[in-house]
Amino acid sequence: MRTLIAAALLVAATPSFAREFTTGTIAALDLTKQTVTLTDKTVYDLRNGALFPETLTVGDRVTVNYVSEGEDGIEKVVALTKF
């Protein structure tokens, strides 16, 4: 019984990560900081994950794939693709 309770507590304490995506239009690019800002004012930092596509320009429509960490927001961008 104690083993079952300990296992349940361990699962409950483990942070949940979910892969998610969003689409939008690029409003701003910062090549130095490697950030992309969409028209909804969301800023994505690409330094810890996805490669920064050098062909991106303001006005491009993109899909941002990222890993979220519960209520804490975006953990890491894993892909940024232009469509």
Q: What's the pLDDT score for residue 37?
A: 94
- The whole-number pLDDT of residue 73 equals 73
Domains and CATH numbers, the chain: 16-82 (2.40.50.320)
pLDDT, position 18: 74
How confident is the model at residue 57, as a pLDDT?
A: 93
The segments of the chain whose pLDDT lies below 50 read: 1-14
pLDDT of 63 reads 94
Please give the pLDDT value at position 16. Answer: 54
What string of DSSP letters covers the chain? -HHHHHHHHHHHHSPPEEEEEEEEEEEEEETTTTEEEETTS-EEE-TTSS---TT--TT-EEEEEEEEEGGG-EEEEEEEEE-
